[in-house]
Amino acid sequence: MDLQIKNTNYSNDAILLGFSDLKRLKTERPLVFERGKGIFIFDENGKDYIESVSCFYCVSLGFSEERLVEAATRQLKALPMYSSAIHRTVPAVMELTERLAALSPVKNPRIYFSTTGSEANDHLIKFMWYGNGFANEPERRKVISRHASYHGSTIATSALGGSQDLHQSFGIPMNFSIQVSHPSWPNSALPGEDEEAFTDRLATELDQAILEAGPETVGAMIAEPVSVSSGMFPPPGSYFPKITKVLRNYGIQLFIDEVVTGFGRSGYMWATEAMGIEPDCVTCAKGISGAYMPIAGIIMGQEFNRRLDLGNEAKGWFAHGATHHAHAVSAAVALEVLNIFEERDVLGHVRRMMPHWNKMLDGLLSHPLVRANRKFGLTGAIEVAYPGEERGGAAGGLKVGGLTKDIYEAGLAEGVIVRPLAGCFVMAPPLIITEPEIGELGRRVRAALDRVLAGVPAASRAAADNVT
Ligand SMILES: Cc1ncc(COP(=O)(O)O)c(C=O)c1O
């Protein structure tokens, strides 16, 4: 298909891409992808790659789902845009709200649609400040998060993210942010510590952090059920029950960030469901529209809503909104995603693929560069180290080491895209992946590991450490 976009006049000087080396952008053309089919994407030279990370853990139904294109087109033709605000909306937003409420991981929810996962988390904090103010608890503003987590790129969500380097380099105000340990089991366990002792220690640390901050100043804790971008460490089963108990003790709400894990990644609609977590509010994005259109959901529970209503009673309205929130085309696409989930039993498919996925991950353990793996639904982390070196550390955040960067580069040569992190690389393929495709993905990843082991590409190994 002719895209009718010719970028031969592309200016290296003008472009700024996220999470990229600005100097490299000036001298080297970035990787340019032109089209996609299922789990594959094709670059401008026609080379195919398996997108083992679904782009940013988001293209859950693959890159060529015609039904999503048609749903978007139908809405574009009927009414391409109308802001959902000032007591006005469109049918797709009303229907999506109803369908999502029926599937909600919190009881009797109220749902607000924003545009990105970052915005959803950011606005949830803003709404909490609003509600707590009107509930006579204006001092309950602080939010607890975990080191090495990722909750987005706005100013507030950067403060919740775990990267100290990022806090410092962007000068992020941290006056409402408290950070506690990430449950990177077993890597950050103390010598001799079993699962119970590990989660007891983390619950005690949380309790102490709350006491230190002043319990009456803490509004919420935000956590991903499993943080893929910090190395994908599924916490021991006792972690969430114990921290939930601590939070309840002080009237602190639990916000669960399902931006990555929601919409089937775990084999359930929500990871909270798969893991028995009891959140007060949940955010979601990415998979909600198969990532074809930007949309995110803030799903708020009863106590949270009671507080919003107090604000409304005092002010006569809820003074928050934005032009592209609950975008009509995004909502139409998200509705079609829900239809496809039902009609094609996407959750059942994920569960059927999980044993093949796990087998593929285990098959890689025999490779000399692979030290361990971690699994969660259709997601996997492969811990790597050069022979003779210590294994990768605990949750490392965004910083990428030399070996995983080499594996990423070798993966490109072998036609597979993985996400390199510190000490490991992660994969979270489109949920539609089939058994033969899992086999082919495993084959390409092993070829990439072989390529690195054989010393290719030596140059990038020497370049090592500084890339995010
Ligand atoms: C757990 C989590 N929360 C929030 C976000 C931010 O979402 P977005 O990039 O759509 O703003 C991300 C992005 O990767 C994420 O992984």
pLDDT reading at 399 higher than 90: no
How large is the average pLDDT for residues 283-292?
98
Give the pLDDT mean for 406-427.
96
The pick from 150, 256, 282 for probing ligand 1's pocket by mutation, whose C-beta has the most ligand atoms within 8 angstroms, reads: 150
Best residue among 158, 259, 281, 295 to mutate for probing ligand 1, ranked by most atoms within 8 Å of CB: 259
- Cβ within 8 Å of residue 446, ≥6 positions away: 363, 364, 367
- DSSP letter for each residue of 46-104: --EEEETTHHHHT-TT-S--HHHHHHHHHHHHH-S---SBTTB--HHHHHHHHHHHHT-
Compute, in angstroms, the gap from residue 191 CA to the centroid of ligand 1: 33
What average pLDDT score do residues 76-97 get? 98
pLDDT tens per residue, range 307-364: 999 999 999 999 999 999 999 999 999 999 999 999 999 999 999 999 999 999 999 9
Residue 157: pLDDT band by 50, 70, 90 thresholds? very high
Q: What is the pLDDT of residues 196-222, one digit of tens each?
A: 999 999 999 999 999 999 999 999 999
Say if CB 308 and CB 273 are below 8 A apart: no
Residue 167 exposure: Cα atoms within 13 Å on the Cβ side: 20
The pTM score is 0.94
Mean pLDDT score, 14-19 = 92
Planar angle of CA 170, 172, 173, nearest 5 degrees: 155
Q: How many A from CA of 259 to the centre of ligand 1? A: 6
Cα torsion through 300, 86, 91, 118, rounded to 10: -40
At 8 the pLDDT is 54
**Position 455 confidence tier, pLDDT thresholds 50, 70, 90:** confident
Atom of ligand 1 nearest to the CA of 154: 11
Percent of the chain with pLDDT over 90: 87
Model pLDDT for residues 164-180, shown as the tens digit of each residue: 889 999 999 999 999 99
Rounded Cα distance, 221 and 120, in Å: 15
Q: 141 alpha carbon to ligand 1 midpoint, in Å?
A: 22
Mean pLDDT of the chain: 93
CA of 464 to the centre of ligand 1 (A): 26
Q: Which of 373-382, 394-403, 436-445 has the lowest mean pLDDT?
A: 394-403
- Compute the radius of gyration of the chain from its Cα atoms: 22
Are the C-beta atoms of 86 and 260 separated by less than 8 Å? no
Ligand 1 atom showing the smallest separation from residue 229 Cα: 16
pLDDT tier, 17 (very low <50, low <70, confident <90, very high otherwise)? very high
Q: Is the pLDDT of residue 465 over 50?
A: no
Structure tokens at 370: 């692979």
DSSP 455: T
Of 4 and 281, which is predicted with more confidence? 281
With bands split at pLDDT 50, 70 and 90, how would you rate the model's confidence at 466? very low
More confident site: 467 or 114: 114
Distance between CA atoms of residues 191 and 210, nearest Å: 26
Structure tokens at 210: 């709350």
Euclidean distance between CA atoms 35 and 30, whole angstroms = 16
Q: What is the band of 417 on the pLDDT scale with cuts at 50, 70, 90? A: very high
pLDDT in tens, 133-143: 999 999 999 99
pLDDT of residue 27: 87
Atom of ligand 1 nearest to the CA of 153: 11
Q: What is the DSSP string of 164-211?
A: HHHHHHTT---TTEEEE----TTTTPPTT--HHHHHHHHHHHHHHHHH
CA 259 to chain centre: 5
Q: Residue 3 — very low, low, confident or very high, per pLDDT cuts 50/70/90? A: low
The confidence score (pLDDT) of residue 463 equals: 41
Our mutation pick for probing the ligand 1 site, out of 119, 260, 325, counting the most ligand atoms within 8 A of Cβ, is 260
Q: What is the pLDDT of residue 400?
A: 59
| Lowest pLDDT segment from 364-373, 431-440, 450-459 | 450-459
